[in-house]
Chain A
């Protein structure tokens, strides 16, 4: 399976993703936001970082960059698209996922492990269901919000992918990640790619990354 790791100016989790995916036996390749296409790719990973220096809003400029047309095309074709941290912000800004991410409730940049649970039957989380995962976060703007109607739909349609066991950033309904209506696009603030190696002390992220091979809408 060939996974495109999208790089924007300011991406900084691209190498973590690249190595985690290749170590799993997938074929990850970097794709620069301003060139290249996603022809021949089966999935896209939008990594964390501070794309375009978070100018204007987190993910706003990246969401309008050239490559996002290609990511959109992949998503419409039913292929898996995963956005982590800044990648989650990019996917909400691009309209591929509902809601928005705002500054953490208590202003602090949070860099710590969190525990996540899921009750979703989406393919992204099927393997994680029933487990409590320990996954690191590193963000200042991870407070998930949506208007009442959107939130009700996200909850009602089983689009909540993950919740924080302890709501560290003030997210509505403790939401840490959501999936798209068709279920093939997922965004989450915690970093599964940083929890994918025994040598680094945590492999809880693997059940999430392995879902790349299961997701198909």
Chain B
């Protein structure tokens, strides 16, 4: 058994409107040092066997949309 953590993030050039809202809320709570927030997803997948080819294929076919998102992953166990 292997566990892979896949991080899916919006491409840096795209406006993250939810992130902008969260940044505003943090600032209203007094976190004046907050300059920006970007929200992504962390997807943890359990696999019998973690091979780069298969993980990339999963990301390309479903987990990330290459039009708007980037991804990276780490095998954690």
Contact = CB atoms under 8 A, between A and B. Distances in A.
Nearest to B21: A107
Interface residues of B, number: 13
18 contacts: A56-B41, A57-B65, A60-B65, A64-B61, A92-B67, A93-B65, A100-B67, A102-B14, A102-B68, A103-B18, A104-B17, A105-B15, A105-B17, A106-B17, A107-B21, A145-B68, A150-B67, A170-B15
Most buried by B among A64, A93, A106, A145: A145
A56 B63 contact: yes
Given A60-B62, A64-B61, A64-B62, A103 B17 contact: yes
Interface string B27-42: 0000000000000010
B62 A99 contact: no
Interface of A: 56-57, 60, 64, 92-93, 99-100, 102-107, 143, 145-147, 150, 170
Contacts of B41: 56
Most buried by B among A103, A105, A106: A103
Contacts of B67: 92, 99-100, 145-147, 150
Contacts of A104: 17
Interface of B: 14-15, 17-18, 20-21, 41, 61-63, 65, 67-68
Given A64-B62, A102-B15, 5 more contacts: A102-B68, A103-B17, A105-B17, A107-B20, A145-B67
Nearest to B19: A103
Given A146-B67, A147-B67, A107 B17 contact: yes
Contacts of A147: 67
A147 B14 CA distance: 10
